[in-house]
Chains A and B, each alone.
Chain A
Amino acid sequence: ETGVTQSPTHLIKTRGQQVTLRCSSQSGHNTVSWYQQALGQGPQFIFQYYREEENGRGNFPPRFSGLQFPNYSSELNVNALELDDSALYLCASSSGTGPYEQYFGPGTRLTVT
Chain B
Amino acid sequence: AQSVSQHNHHVILSEAASLELGCNYSYGGTVNLFWYVQYPGQHLQLLLKYFSGDPLVKGIKGFEAEFIKSKFSFNLRKPSVQWSDTAEYFCAVNGHNAGNMLTFGGGTRLMVKP
Contacts and interface: CB of A to CB of B under 8 A. Distances in A.
A100 B93 CA distance: 12
Given A101-B49, A104-B43, A107-B43, A56 B90 contact: no
Contact of B101 (A45, A90, A100): A45
A18 B58 CA distance: 44
B99 A56 contact: yes
Contacts of A55: 99-100
B46 A101 contact: yes
A41 B100 contact: no
Interface in B25-70: 32, 34, 36, 42-46, 49, 51
Interface of B: 4, 6, 32, 34, 36, 42-46, 49, 51, 90, 92, 94, 96, 98-107
